[in-house]
């Protein structure tokens, strides 16, 4: 799937959320050198945009009617690392994490992104998943 036009995203989720999406993508791109892939969003979402390397997904954004989602899947070891930094995370992020479903392959956490306020917490969560590139 080719790149989705910004105007199309703005019609789908509104301009503020699109700006937030691009801000977060820019921050992730500074930390990680990864393939960035657009896909259709399956049954529940219109579009998916994910960061991948060597067949492994770091995180993914999901778009649908006025909703921007951000998913990270935490394996067992990553969940224990998250417990070590709980006091560094916002109550909203912790509530979303605590209420997320845990499956056999990990805890699938979908954050509802409304603005940039979650950015620093997302960076901390991504650092649990993968060390950033060496600079």
Flag whether pLDDT at 2 surpasses 70.
no
pLDDT at residue 1 greater than cutoff 70: no
The 3-state DSSP class for residue 91 equals: helix
Query: Do 83 and 74 contact (CB within 8 A), yes or no?
Result: no
Per-residue pLDDT band at 80 (split at 50, 70, 90): very high
CB 93 within 8 A of CB 121: yes
| Cα–Cα dist 117/102, whole Å | 25
Q: Which residues of 53-91 are buried (b: 16+ CB within 10 A; e: fewer)?
A: eeeebbbbbbbeeebbbbbbbbeeebeeebeeeeeebee
> Domain ranges in the chain?
6-129
Enter the pTM of the model. 0.93
pLDDT in tens, 40-51: 999 999 999 999
């Amino acid at each position: 799937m080719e790149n989705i036009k910004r105007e199309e995203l703005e019609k789908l989720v509104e301009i503020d959320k699109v700006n937030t999406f691009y801000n977060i993508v820019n921050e992730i791109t500074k930390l990680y050198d990864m393939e960035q892939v657009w896909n259709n969003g399956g049954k529940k979402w219109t579009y998916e945009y994910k960061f991948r390397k060597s067949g492994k997904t770091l995180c993914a954004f999901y778009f649908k009617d006025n909703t921007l989602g951000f998913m990270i899947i935490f394996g067992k070891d990553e969940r224990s690392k998250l417990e070590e930094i709980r006091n560094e995370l916002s109550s909203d992020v912790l509530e979303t994490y605590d209420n997320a479903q845990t499956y056999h392959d990990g805890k699938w956490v979908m954050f509802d992104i409304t603005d940039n306020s979650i950015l620093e917490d997302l960076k901390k969560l991504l650092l649990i998943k993968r060390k950033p590139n060496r600079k």
